[in-house]
């Protein structure tokens, strides 16, 4: 049985970054962890329309994978289709935003979020409000780069460090949460530069999926 | 110019009920108010999948109507596509759940919601949480009937009255909000039977749309 | 039948500004909308004492108007006497602060308020707390001008723009709410200068009153 | 110097009950504690209009007393004029609802309130919301008796015990707060009957006023 | 390297139940998971004094284990010493209440808690408040049995089922959380009887610890 | 009978400062107020371990004092052992953080806290969350000095004034709360320099204890 991590955008680079990030969670006696892109998705999910538009293709893809699945992870920070997939599937389903936030709550009292774009932030706030965790939010600030622009690693990292420091110093964040699956490869240097724990949300979700999958074997 | 009220399910009965409910908002010097069904939608929107599945057809329909539109109202209590349509359109966009809640907040201190089905309730709670208004919620209880079952008027009304009384007497609601566009025709008898104001959410949204449309003329 | 918008201060300039602001809401087939000052009120309502002191005269004035009224709007951002008038009157009663906030909640995720004076702010915060909407507040900042000082239009507008930009850039507001009925004439230039929607609260309340009045005809 | 406890209704019976309740707070070396009724007030403060209507006379009375006052306590559970008197007076000002809630928060995790009438409850909820303490509220239930009806002691106490038990058993209250200054004499028997601490709000406010007055001497 | 799950009471039965519950989380390529009791602890942790009294012995035990530890789990639902151990240790530290709540938040919108005793509940509520998750709490009800009484399996299970059904039917819980490490063996039958997911908090914490430990290897 | 104010650190300087601060609360006809240090405590309570480590000695000391006690005050801003002592003792028990916050809530709408060290702040936030008062918090900022460093009075006061002004000007605090019992002697000059009321938390708690003790005599 396999934990399927579905990146609902079509960028293989993002999926490769995710695959590398979750490698330490693979073990000899399983479950397997497979990462895949959604070819129907846009190169990056940036607008509410992008979020809503990938739900139906994602549900179809998950339906195909259901027989082999022990769990699903939706690897986009807007958790598109999370509740619809929970309805559809008999397997545990995890969203990276939800798990990222919950994991950050074990590492600090106030979490700061690094969003890609300013327009992401009202969407995040609605989601944190729906989760009922606004009291734990220190701040949510954009780095001002779209998903595809994240491939310029030096520029991206320097923006993430600048925003991370603002979240820590001016907003009181004692843990940071990266607000995009495409930021996975920047976790370690960001943590080192800012000096507070940094949560990579796909790792957070995959770790919770791993536990749930193993416990369900019982 | 026209306020378009889009019922994202395919039930003409529901759309007819909406049309009657908003009739008093029409005036000689406009704007016009047009109510339409979404043929691609299911007969009733009951699951999260139903909600998510109507968003893309709804966005397409709204794009067609944009040139003639002065405002849009999305007439399903899950407000499907509300934020995506706000991105897409240059016109004001209203959701009936959002406007229903906001209007209820002018009529009582704690609003009680009549949901159709038990499975609607977690979806409502996520939405009220995203709106940041949970402190004003008295309770949200199902009448236990699907959208199409609402056509049995006597049974529906008696269930609505029973649930409305429970919300008032046991949960402290001093205003009720009907949690489905298909309940429009029961507003007056429900209000009379329970003895607290009852908000019909499509009326609430259409009223706010009317004001916004007129003010935008300026 | 008439919607009465009562400005509970004695400044005809403020009332004239309100009258102009709600003009687009008037329609051939009614209801009429009449704006009046309260001669017993102070020139501007700035202190808690001012707020509390106008309630009894306001209730008397509303009692006189009741037979011709289809709805009442209390046009002071502290909503003086809102709940007492709701007790007294058989008509719908709206406060501009309440309706301004609710309307802002349809236009952005975090609203920023422009107060007149620093001493207004704790009063606003108590009110937003009573409404249960603090989670949606980005910030509430004073422009530092009393009601009568608003007549210096250039100075007032430049202060409003400066404070509006701070609310947007530093506090994350994506919609602004003008915290005084006397600011009505600055809505359009403020919106243009800051680049986010600006809610004029008397318009917001009058729009909701218009809808309620028309729906009550039924 | 004297702590003035102003009962803003005109009922001497209520004032006498308050006077007896605060007797243990009087000490040889002061400050003196004087309790007075407000002749301009109604026999009982039950409606929002009653609340708003006593503010101006209360402010006038307090202005007269200011030279001799070391602190003021407003002894009505709606805290009429609390913030206006804080503006007006150079002395510390306490409201019995505010102090009653804060004191209850030192005695249990969830406080239950005994209101006089059902119409009191939305007013209480607005106030607790303004205070930002809704998370600590277990419930607020009416005993269904007006202020003057409290003089029937047996009936009142039996209603208070019944409602107190409901608050404890069904709503999880671990401390009770009496929601009317006229309930003072029922504190001890109610506490004994229900088995959780009961806060008499005028005692709570007078105790805080006593401390503030003594500390200000410094 | 080993994940140490420390049951801070001295009951080997409880520790054995935990050991069985986390068995599915063990894998060939580790990390090892070791469960131990705290001999200095009481037979059951039931009072605030019990909670506070085990912190120092727990910190000493953890200091001894630190060199071999990859993570710590504190297996008491009051999470005694959680933040002190986070200060002391260079390893990740998890509390079962914190992780139980966070895990429940991925399984339902409102979680219901089964406490052992009525006196546990204010302590739980303070903790959920500190976590900032009160909006997600449906209710917290006692089964009325002390830790050692849980050994009467039939009686315990029947009490748990009765309370679980009340949480679901009357309080709207759509996921249950067992509020004591000693309840581990009742998870499956409780879930089956009540018909909503049931979170066993030590499993929840051990699963999160497993993920964190594996990811830290990187 | 005596109100015992227990400073759970071992610093006699801090205890002397407390003793001076509560002097105005002593009256001829009692109760007596006695301040004592806890010799087993550290020189200053700065870490969570410090907090947790003083609970058992504090409980033992309080048990000794019980026969002579009319109330207890725990004079450390982390309120160590507050709920355990409430369990143990038949007397009223007050914590200075709890009472300091509640008292600040009578003096302003948003309180700002001056913490000693950055590491104090997450602990404070958990506590304010447990109290359910986060909505009233303007901000919590460290002065960056440990308890023993507070003896350098000039440096401490200048840091407190700088932080107090930031809390007022940038965070909107209209009342300040000193977050350490060792700051007592700086209350008056801080208040004068910043221009908003400043709460000394041991005074706040002792005042509430005095009232409770006198009322219990009845």
Structure confidence by residue, pLDDT tens digits, F34-45: 999 999 999 999
pLDDT of residue F218: 54
Q: Which residues of B touch D171 (CB under 8 A)?
A: none
DSSP type of residue A113: E
Q: Using CA atoms, how far apart are residues F79 and F123, in angstroms rounded to an integer?
A: 11
Q: Do A125 and C108 touch (CB under 8 A)?
A: no
Nearest chain F residue to C122, by CA: F109
Residue C149 pLDDT > 70: yes
Contact across the interface for F126 and A108, Cβ inside 8 Å: no
Residue for token pair 């709204």: B62
Whether residue B211 sits in one domain with residue B178? no
D9: nearest Cα among D69, D71, D74, D68: D74
| D123 in the same domain as D78 | no
Quote the pLDDT of residue E218: 54
Please indicate whether, in this complex, the C-beta atoms of C129 and F108 are within 8 angstroms of each other. Answer: no
Q: Is residue C40 domain-shared with residue C59, that is, in the same domain?
A: yes
Mean pLDDT of chain B: 97
Residue of B nearest to C205 (CA): B211
Over 80: is that where the pLDDT of F217 sits? no
- Which residues lie below 8 Å from residue B106, measured CB to CB, with a gap of 6+? C94, C98, C99, C102, C208
Check if the beta carbon of residue A164 is closer than 8 Å to that of residue A137.
no
Task: Give me the helices (H) in D8-69, please.
Answer: 12-22, 48-53, 55-65
In whole angstroms, what is the distance from residue C72 CA to residue C213 CA? 10
Query: Judging by beta carbons within 10 Å of its beta carbon (0-12, 13-18, 19+), is residue C90 exposed, middle or buried?
Result: exposed
Residues linked to residue C111 through DSSP beta bridges, in sequence order: C137, C175
Contact present, C72 and C62 (Cβ < 8 Å)? yes
Instruction: Looking at the structure, tell me whether residues F9 and F91 fall in a common domain.
Output: yes
Q: Are residues C110 and C167 in the same domain?
A: yes
What are the tens digits of pLDDT across the range A121-180? 999 999 999 999 999 999 999 999 998 899 899 999 999 999 999 999 999 999 999 999
**Do D197 and D106 share a structural domain?**
yes
Give the residue on C whose Cα is nearest the Cα of A140: C172
Judged by average pLDDT, the poorest of E1-5, F148-152, F160-164 is F148-152
Q: Decide if D172 and E126 are in contact by the 8 Å CB cutoff.
A: no
Q: Give the C-alpha separation, C180 to C116, whole Å.
A: 7
Amino acid E148: pLDDT: 85
Concatenated DSSP letters for chain C? -EEEEEE-SS-HHHHHHHHHHHGGG--TT--EEEEEE-TTS-SS--SHHHHHHTHHHHHHHHHHHGGGEEEEEE-STT-TTHHHHHHH-SS-EEEHHHHHHHHHTTT-SSEEEEESSTTHHHHHHHHHHHHT-GGGEEEEEE----TGGGGSHHHHHHHHHHHHHHHHHTT--SEEEE-SGGGGGGHHHHHHHH-S-EE-HHHHHHHHHHHHHHHHT-
- Report residue C46's pLDDT band, with 50, 70 and 90 as the boundaries: very high
The residues that bridge with D70 in the sheet, in sequence order, are: none
Maximal C-alpha separation, chain B: 48
A117: CATH: 3.40.50.12500
Note the pLDDT of residue E112.
98
Segment B124-168, tens digit of pLDDT:
999 999 999 999 999 999 999 998 899 899 999 999 999 999 999
Residues F71 and F69: their CA atoms lie apart, in Å, by 5
CB E209 within 8 Å of CB E73: yes
Contact state of D52 with C47 under an 8 Å Cβ cutoff? no
Whether residues D24 and D71 share a domain: the answer is: yes
Residue given tokens 């060290």 in the structure block: F117
How confident is the model at residue F148, as a pLDDT? Answer: 85
- Angstrom distance (rounded) from CA F122 to CA A109: 6
Question: In terms of Cα–Cα distance, which of C217, C205, C211 is closest to B209?
Answer: C211
* Interface probe with A: pick from F120, F125, F144, most Cβ of A within 10 Å: F125
> Which subunits have 3 or more CB–CB pairs within 8 Å of chain B?
A, C, D, E
* Domain count within chain F: 2
Test D122 with B109 for CB contact under 8 angstroms: yes
**Which single residue is written with the structure tokens 């590491």?**
F119
Query: How deeply is D90 buried, as exposed, middle or buried, from its count of CB atoms within 10 A (0-12, 13-18, 19+)?
Result: exposed
pLDDT 10s digits, E121-163: 999 999 999 999 999 999 999 999 998 899 899 999 999 999 9
Question: What's the pLDDT score for residue F215?
Answer: 95
pLDDT tens column, C104-146: 999 999 999 999 999 999 999 999 999 999 999 999 999 999 9
Residue B77 confidence (pLDDT) above 80: yes
Backbone angles phi, psi at F87, to 5 degrees: -65, -45
pLDDT of residue B30: 87
pLDDT at F131 over 70: yes
| Predicted local distance difference test score (pLDDT) of residue E30 | 87
Provide the pLDDT for residue D218: 54
Residue matched to tokens 């410094």? D218
Nearest C-alpha of chain E: how many angstroms from D197?
A: 15
| CB pairs A-C closer than 8 Å | 12
Q: Helix or strand or coil: residue F44? A: coil
In terms of Cβ atoms closer than 10 Å to its own Cβ (0-12, 13-18, 19+), residue D112 is: buried
Query: Which residues, including other chains, have CB under 8 Å from residue B46's CB and lie 6 or more apart?
Result: B116, B117, B119, B120, B146, B147
The DSSP symbol for F182 reads: G
Q: Which site among D122, D129, D132, D170 would you substitute to test the B interface, given the most B Cβ atoms closer than 10 Å to its Cβ?
A: D122
User: Closest Cα to residue E53, out of E76, E22, E21, E35?
Assistant: E76
Between CA A4 and CA B65 the distance in angstroms is 40
Q: Average pLDDT in the A64-88 region?
A: 98
pLDDT over 60 at A218, yes or no: no
Which of F48, F55, F122 has the CB atom closest to E52's CB atom? F55
Average pLDDT in the F86-92 region?
Answer: 98
Q: Which residue has the tokens 């699956």?
A: A181
Q: How far apart are CA A174 and CA A165, in angstroms?
A: 10
Assess whether B62 and B133 both reside in one domain: no
Q: Which residues of F9-45 are buried (b: 16+ CB within 10 A; e: fewer)?
A: bbbebbbebbbebbebbbbeebbebebbbbeebbebb
Q: What is the average pLDDT value for chain E, to the nearest integer?
A: 97
pLDDT of residue B218: 54
Query: Do both E162 and E208 map to the same domain?
Result: no
Q: Which of B53, B81, B130 to mutate to test the interface with A (most CBs of A within 10 A)?
A: B130
Per-residue b/e over E66-97, b at no fewer than 16 CB within 10 Å? eeebbbbbbbbbbbbbbbbbbebbebbbbbbb
Q: Are residues B113 and B88 in the same domain?
A: no
F60 membership: H or E segment, kind and range: helix F55-65
Distance CA D53, CA D45 (A): 9
The pairs formed by B186-192 with CB atoms below 8 angstroms and a separation of 24 or more are B186/B153, B186/B156, B186/B157, B186/B160, B187/B21, B189/B157, B189/B161, B190/B157, B190/B160, B190/B161, B190/B164
All residues at 6 or more sequence positions from F33 whose CB lies less than 8 Å from its CB, including other chains: F2, F3, F5, F22, F25, F26, F206, F210
Kindly state whether residues F115 and F170 are assigned to the same domain: yes
Q: Which residues fall within 8 angstroms of residue B210, CB to CB, at 6 or more apart?
A: B3, B25, B31, B33, B71, C207, C210, C211
In this predicted structure, the answer to whether residue B50 has a pLDDT above a threshold of 70 is yes
Nearest to B132 by CA among C118, A134, D70: A134
Cβ atoms of residues C25 and C35 within 8 Å: no
Answer yes or no: do B88 and A127 touch at CB < 8 A: no
Domain housing C192: 98-200
Could E210 and A211 be called an inter-chain contact, meaning their C-beta atoms sit closer than 8 Å? yes
**Beta bridge mates, A113:** A140, A177
Report the 3 state secondary structure along F91-150: CCEEEHHHHHHHHHCCCCCCEEEEECCCCHHHHHHHHHHHHCCHHHEEEEEECCCCCHHH
Q: Could you tell me if C130 and C142 lie in one domain?
A: yes
pLDDT value at residue B147: 86
Cβ separation F49–E88 shorter than 8 A: yes
pLDDT, residue A147, reads: 86
Closest CA to C74 of C63, C64, C85: C85
- Environment class of residue C166 by beta-carbon count within 10 Å: exposed (0-12), middle (13-18) or buried (19+)? middle
Residues of chain D with pLDDT under 70: 218
CA distance D155 to E166: 33
CB E13 within 8 A of CB E114: no
């Amino acid at each position: 049985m396999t934990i399927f991590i579905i990146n609902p955008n079509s960028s293989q680079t993002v999926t490769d970054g995710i695959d590398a990030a979750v490698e330490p969670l693979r073990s000899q006696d399983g479950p397997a962890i497979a990462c895949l892109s959604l070819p129907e998705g846009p190169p990056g999910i940036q607008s509410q329309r992008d979020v809503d538009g990938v739900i139906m293709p994602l549900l179809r893809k998950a339906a195909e994978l259901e027989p082999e699945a022990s769990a699903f992870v939706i690897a986009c920070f807007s958790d598109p289709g999370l509740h619809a997939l929970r309805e559809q599937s008999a397997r545990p389903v995890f969203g990276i935003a939800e798990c990222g936030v919950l994991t950050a709550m074990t590492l600090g009292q106030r979490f700061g979020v690094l969003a890609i774009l300013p327009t992401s932030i009202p969407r995040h706030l609605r989601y944190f409000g729906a989760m009922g965790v606004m009291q734990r939010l220190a701040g949510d600030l954009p780095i001002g780069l779209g998903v595809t622009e994240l491939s310029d690693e030096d520029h991206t990292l320097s923006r993430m460090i600048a925003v991370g420091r603002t979240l820590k110093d001016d907003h009181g964040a004692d843990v940071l949460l990266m607000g995009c699956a495409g930021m996975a490869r920047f976790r370690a240097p960001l943590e080192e530069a800012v000096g507070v724990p940094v949560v990579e949300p796909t790792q957070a979700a995959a770790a919770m999926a791993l536990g749930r999958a193993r416990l369900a074997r019982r």
